[in-house]
Structure 1
Amino acid sequence: MILLKVKHIDAGGRLDKYLLKFLKVAPSSFIYKMLRKKNIVLNGKKATGSELLTENDEIKLFLADETIVKFGGSVILSQTADREYIDLEEDSIESEDDISLYNSLKFLKWEFDTPQIIYEDSDIIILNKPVNVLSQIAKKDDKSMNEWLIHYLINTGSFTYNDFLTMRPAVVNRLDRNTSGIILAGKTLRGLRFLSNIIKTREITKYYLTVVKGEMTKNQTAEAYLVKNDNHNTVKIYRNKIDGAEYIKTAYEVLEVSKGHSLLKVELITGKSHQIRAHLSFLGFPLIGDGKYGLKSDNLLYRRMGLTSQFLHSYEIQFPEIEGEFSHLSKTTFTADLPTRLKNVACKLGFNLLL
């Protein structure tokens, strides 16, 4: 009998996914067959594989040692008469690819500004993403917030090599490369599931700060339709619905007006690619510094002020009322400091609220 004990980092994941990570080369049909025959049980009971795991759950595999090894698992004799799986030491892992990737993240050379940690607990982390950093990689050799996150967790001792073999912490919301601000990430499967769910159901409220060309005189909530052009990585806004268009909704609050510009607090009610930038441009208030949807002639002036990309910062998130294991986040609000470069530009344009 092989005993697997679920660790905190794997809690929240499905039983079948967990087993497929342990028995790396086993076909899924084998896993489900063993579950049906009760050769694999969860906490002493028959399981289907769809169960969500909790910390300290016990999974027993009544399989021969040869079968375990054949399908990529590990067997070590315990002090009892039974056998149990025990985390292997780093230097005993045979996969050179895994070791190489782990070490590349452990000793990551980060060429960008260091992300600021806004909040962290055992399951989630909230970060302030610098400008010019990808949320997730686009090409193999890219470095993104995902790579920095794992690098940070490894070097703070909260993510081991054996953790690395079973799951990967990851960001759950994306910001454009040149948009700074709040990034949410899961450190565990439970954290990833929680954050992904409240984003998918739009229960979390997100606010951005931006400066636009033009004087917006009143607050407004605007609705429109968005069509994405994947070939050019751009979107186009339409007032009325057309084929292939997605509905969008954005709310704008005017915080301050100065020298022909407006400082806005934007609530992203629907979260589509380039929504804020394209929608405001469509309404006649393009973001300053925006090379895709802004005014290119004016952007020369903003560059002389030190603005090399659009003035857009993911500033604030508000969690909904939450019960259960994440109740400590119920109705909490987190904010991300505005980058110095944006503060300097805002100051030059005469805005006082951001000083």
Structure 2
Amino acid sequence: MSQKPVKVRHVTVDERGDGQRIDNFLLRELKGVPRTLIYRLLRKGEVRVNKGRVKAGRRLVAGDVVRIPPVRLPEASEVGKPPQWQIDKIEKSIIYEDNLLLIINKEPGLAVHGGSGISFGVIELLRASRPQEKALELAHRLDRDTSGCLMLAKKRSALRTLQQLQREGRVRKRYLALLAGRWNKDRQQVKVPLKKNNLKSGERVVRVDAAGKHAHTEFRVVQRFSRATLVEAELKTGRTHQIRVHAQYLGTPILGDEKYGDEQANREFRHLGLKRLFLHAASLRFPWPEREQGYAFEAPLPPELQELLDK
């Protein structure tokens, strides 16, 4: 198969890229290229903005000139198109949609971003379903194994508003989690810093670390069981794996968590039918300019988790 010649490109950021993170901008410009390669190019300084090196979190401004190094893009046949049944399934998961926002009830096991030509995540499936939505972007992320409310923006202006609201802590994100063990307290505030670590295998693990970033989770007991506690967790900050690591820090990890959990407790609850992480993004609530009542969304607990509680 002949490969198209590749060379350095200089792309001027337009309104569509205004306010977007450089890593997300590159994912769009280099469709089908693995995320790991994008981060490697940024680390090596091969991507430049206005001739200067940048980090993955750098937000672009309209008029910025981005140097994109030579990268061979996969042919369309390599990237592939999502199967229709997957597209139909993601469409059925939509809770709400208007001209600015799209909210889905994400199923567990579905990544928000897919890998190169192997699997398709939420964003690839929705873009394949509605190719006319040129500016469709994720407004935040959920772990692959977490189910529930996920926000997407359909316009750059809506994405900027959602990002600003999240930075200001004005988006209320409420999760339901089943923890191993019983709590005596009704509420717990956890304020311990978290730091990302990459293992030699390439796996990402988050640890409590004084050198990490500030992280704050508020836990409230919903129901006590003999060997477990159902809690509501509200994120005050949005760090990677935050609820999972804070629950582990308290000595009561989330059941079904293979990375931060308790192996023995997971085994016991597997016999009761728990085959996944018991973490569900139950609701989202946030104000909106020129919309007096703001927005509020809820995603019911998936049947398999409700059945476990009933048992």
Q: Scaled by the length of structure 2, what TM-score is found?
A: 0.70
- Secondary structure at 1:298 match in 2: helix
Q: Select which of 82, 100, 103 maps to 1:126.
A: 103
Counterpart position of 1:279: 246
Looking at structure 2, the residues matched to 260 and 99 of structure 1 have their Cα atoms a distance apart, in angstroms, of 51
Measured against aligned partners, the alpha-carbon deviations of 1:185-237 in whole angstroms (never above 9, x if no partner) come to 01222332222222233221100001101111221211101121123311111
Distance 1:292 1:197, change over 3 A: same
Counterpart position of 2:178: 211
Pairwise CA distance, 1:296: 0.6
Matched, 1:192 2:168: no
From the CA coordinates, give the structure whose radius of gyration is larger.
1
Looking at structure 2, the residues matched to 179 and 112 of structure 1 have their Cα atoms a distance apart, in angstroms, of 20
Q: Which runs of 5+ in 2 are unaligned?
A: 1-13, 19-28, 30-48, 51-60, 64-73
Matched, 1:343 2:311: no
Counterpart position of 1:36: none
Pairwise CA distance, 1:282: 1.0
Looking at structure 1, the residues matched to 300 and 279 of structure 2 have their Cα atoms a distance apart, in angstroms, of 12
Counterpart position of 2:195: 227
Distance 1:139 1:101, change over 3 A: closer
Counterpart position of 2:124: 147
Aligned-pair identity in percent equals 28
Counterpart position of 1:311: 278
Q: Scaled by the length of structure 1, what TM-score is found?
A: 0.62
Distance 1:311 1:280, change over 3 A: same
Q: Which runs of 5+ in 1 are unaligned?
A: 1-9, 15-23, 30-47, 51-96, 349-355
Matched, 1:270 2:237: yes
Pairwise CA distance, 1:137: 2.2
Looking at structure 2, the residues matched to 176 and 250 of structure 1 have their Cα atoms a distance apart, in angstroms, of 16
- The 5 Å alignment of 1:1-355 reads 104=81, 108-110=84-86, 114=90, 116-154=93-131, 159=132, 167-217=134-184, 218-231=186-199, 232-238=203-209, 241=210, 243=211, 245-320=212-287, 322-324=288-290, 327=291, 330-348=293-311
Pairwise CA distance, 1:260: 2.3
- Secondary structure at 1:193 match in 2: helix
Q: Contact 1:108–1:151 (CA<8 Å) still a contact in 2?
A: no
Give the letter aligned to residue 141 of structure 1. Answer: I
Distance 1:111 1:332, change over 3 A: closer
Pairwise CA distance, 1:300: 1.5
Aligned residues: 246
- Secondary structure at 2:81 match in 1: helix
